[in-house]
C-alpha cells in the first residue's frame, strides 16, 4: 500500500472476503441434472488425471508409493466438502505440491499445517493480501513449475520409446499453451488411442530354442534359434479381443502357411495372453477348424490351456 502499486497500474490480488464459509446443501433445479452429469463426468476425469499425474510425479521423485483408490476416495471427499461450502470443483494442486516439496514438506502434516495457516489468514489477515501484486504470485508459480521439469527423465523416455517421448512433449507444450486440464485430457486421449493401436496390432513372434539361454525366444531377434521340425511355437503379445481377433487370425494362418505342408502342430504361447473375450474364442475355434482341415493340431501352452475356461 505504501508503494502505491494500484495507482501505478500494477494489478494486485484485490479484496478477499474474510471468514470461513458456512456449510449448506446446494440447491439447483432437477431439470439441470442431465446437462450437469456430462460436464461433471468430464471434469471428474480431468481432475483425477491431473491429480494422479502430480501424485505419481512426486511419488517417483521422493521414492514412495501411492494408492489410486485412496487418492480417488480423498478427491471425492474433498469435492463433497467443497460443494457443501459453496466452493468449486477441486483437484490436487500441482503448483502447491511443488511449492511444498521445494520447501521441504515430506508428510501429510504439511497439508494440515497449510490448511490451518489458510484458515488463520482467512480469519485475520485478508486485508494485507489485497496489496500483493499478481506478478509476485506468478513469479512464485514459475519458480516452482521450473522445478517440475525433469530433463533426465525426458532423456530416459527418449531412449526407451520415442513415441512416449513425443507424447510427453505434446502434453508439456499443451500445459504451457492451453492449460494443464486441457493438455492432460488431450494426453490421456492420445495415450488411450496409442494403447488401442498397440493392442490391435501386437507383435506376433515365432519362437525357438537358443543355445545357452533358457526358455524360447523370437527367431527374428535370434536368428540362431532352433525350431522343432513339424512344430511352430507362436507368441501373440496381447489379449485376444474383438478388435484384434481378425489380426490374430491372419497372423496364425500366415505362420501356418510359412511353415509349409510339413507342419503338424501349431502351439500358442499363452503367457502374454491375459484375456480372451467371446469374439476371441470364436476366432480361435475358426482357426482350429481351418488348421484341422490341413491336418494341423492347434494347441495352447504356458497359461490357461483349456479354451472353455476363458469364457
- Domain co-membership, 183 together with 221: no
| CA–CA gap between residue 220 and residue 231 (Å, rounded) | 17
pLDDT in tens, 182-231: 777 788 888 888 888 889 999 999 999 998 888 889 998 898 999 989 99
**Strands ordered across the beta sheet of 265-269:** 216-218, 204-209, 231-236, 265-269, 297-301
Structural domain of 248: 204-310
Q: Please say which residue of 179, 200, 221 terminates a domain.
A: 200
pLDDT above 70 (res 308): no
Beta-strand relationship, 297-301 and 216-218? unpaired
Percent helix, strand, coil in the chain, to 5, is 55, 10, 35
* pLDDT computed for residue 283 by the predictor: 95
Mark whether 157 and 169 lie in a shared domain: yes
Other beta carbons less than 10 A from residue 50's beta carbon: 20
Strands 231-236 and 297-301: unpaired
- pLDDT for residue 310: 58
> Does 291 share its domain with 213?
yes
- For residue 223, the domain's CATH number is 3.30.750.24
* 168 and 247 co-located in one domain: no
Summarize pLDDT for 14-73 with one digit per residue, the tens.
788 888 788 888 888 888 888 888 778 877 887 887 788 778 878 877 788 888 898 889
The more confidently predicted of residues 232 and 138 is 232
Are 192 and 288 in a shared domain?
no
Based on the structure, what is the number of domains in the chain?
2
Continuous H helices in 104-179: 109-124, 126-129, 134-146, 151-160, 162-178
Considering the domain boundaries, does residue 113 fall inside one? no
> For residue 193, is it within any domain?
yes
Residues 194 and 222 reside in one and the same domain: no
Mean pLDDT score, 144-157: 77
* 67: its cell numbers: 494408492
Tens digits of residue pLDDT in 283-303:
999 999 999 999 999 999 886
Strands (E), 250-290: 265-269
In a domain, 174, yes or no: yes
What is the DSSP code (8-state) at residue 177?
Answer: H
Kindly report the number of other CB atoms within 10 A of residue 133's CB atom. 15
- Average of per-residue pLDDT across 122-143: 81
Sequence-distant (6+) residues with CB within 8 A of 280 are: 239, 240, 241, 242, 245, 248, 310
Q: Can you give the pLDDT at residue 304?
A: 61
Q: Do 284 and 191 share a structural domain?
A: no
Contact (CB, 8 A) for 207 and 269: yes
Is it the case that residue 4 has pLDDT exceeding 70? no
Q: Is 293 helix (H, G, I), strand (E, B) or coil?
A: helix
Residue 234 located in a structural domain: yes
Q: Do residues 191 and 242 both lie within one domain?
A: no
Whether residues 213 and 167 share a domain: the answer is: no
Q: Does residue 180 fall inside a structural domain? A: yes
Q: Verify that 211 and 196 share a domain, yes or no.
A: no
User: Do 228 and 301 share a domain, yes or no?
Assistant: yes
State whether 278 and 211 are in the same domain. Answer: yes
Boundary-marking domain end, from 140, 172, 200: 200
pLDDT band at residue 307 under the 50/70/90 scheme: low
d(CA 282, CA 270): 17
Predicted pLDDT of residue 311: 47
pLDDT at 1: 54
Query: Is there a domain that residue 237 lies in?
Result: yes
For the segment 71-88, what is each residue's pLDDT rounded down to a tens digit? 889 888 988 988 888 888
Tens digits of per-residue pLDDT, 271-282? 899 889 999 999
285: in domain = yes
Residue 241, pLDDT above cutoff 90: yes
Residues 153-176, mean pLDDT to the nearest whole number:
85
In a domain, 85, yes or no: no
Domain end residue (candidates: 136, 169, 200): 200
Amino acid at each position: 500500500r505504501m508503494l502505491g502499486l494500484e495507482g501505478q497500474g500494477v494489478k494486485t490480488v484485490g479484496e478477499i472476503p474474510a471468514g470461513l464459509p458456512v456449510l449448506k446443501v446446494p440447491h439447483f433445479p432437477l431439470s439441470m441434472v442431465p446437462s450437469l452429469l456430462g460436464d461433471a463426468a468430464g471434469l471428474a476425469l480431468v481432475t483425477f488425471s491431473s491429480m494422479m499425474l502430480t501424485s505419481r510425479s512426486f511419488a517417483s521423485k521422493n521414492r514412495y508409493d501411492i494408492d489410486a483408490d485412496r487418492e480417488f476416495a480423498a478427491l471425492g471427499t474433498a469435492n463433497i466438502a467443497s460443494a457443501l461450502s459453496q466452493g468449486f470443483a477441486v483437484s490436487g494442486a500441482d503448483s502447491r505440491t511443488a511449492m511444498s516439496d521445494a520447501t521441504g514438506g515430506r508428510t501429510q502434516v504439511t497439508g494440515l499445517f497449510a490448511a490451518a495457516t489458510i484458515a488463520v489468514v482467512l480469519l485475520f489477515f485478508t486485508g494485507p493480501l489485497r496489496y500483493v501484486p499478481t506478478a509476485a504470485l506468478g513469479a512464485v508459480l514459475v519458480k516452482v513449475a521450473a522445478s517440475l521439469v525433469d530433463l533426465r527423465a525426458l532423456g530416459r523416455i527418449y531412449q526407451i520409446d520415442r513415441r512416449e517421448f513425443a507424447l510427453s512433449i505434446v502434453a508439456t507444450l499443451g500445459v504451457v499453451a492451453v492449460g494443464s486440464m486441457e493438455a492432460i485430457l488431450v494426453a490421456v486421449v492420445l495415450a488411450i488411442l496409442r494403447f488401442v493401436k498397440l493392442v490391435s496390432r501386437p507383435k506376433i513372434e515365432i519362437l525357438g530354442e537358443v543355445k545357452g539361454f533358457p526358455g524360447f525366444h523370437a527367431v527374428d531377434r535370434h536368428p540362431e534359434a532352433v525350431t522343432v521340425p513339424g512344430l511352430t511355437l507362436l507368441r501373440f503379445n496381447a489379449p485376444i479381443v474383438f478388435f484384434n481377433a481378425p489380426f490374430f487370425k491372419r497372423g496364425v494362418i500366415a505362420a501356418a502357411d510359412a511353415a509349409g505342408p510339413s507342419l503338424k502342430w501349431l502351439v500358442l504361447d499363452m503367457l502374454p495372453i491375459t484375456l480372451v473375450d467371446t469374439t476371441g474364442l470364436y476366432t480361435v475355434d475358426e482357426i482350429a477348424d481351418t488348421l484341422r482341415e490341413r491336418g494341423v493340431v492347434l494347441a495352447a501352452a504356458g497359461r490357461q490351456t483349456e479354451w472353455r475356461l476363458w469364457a
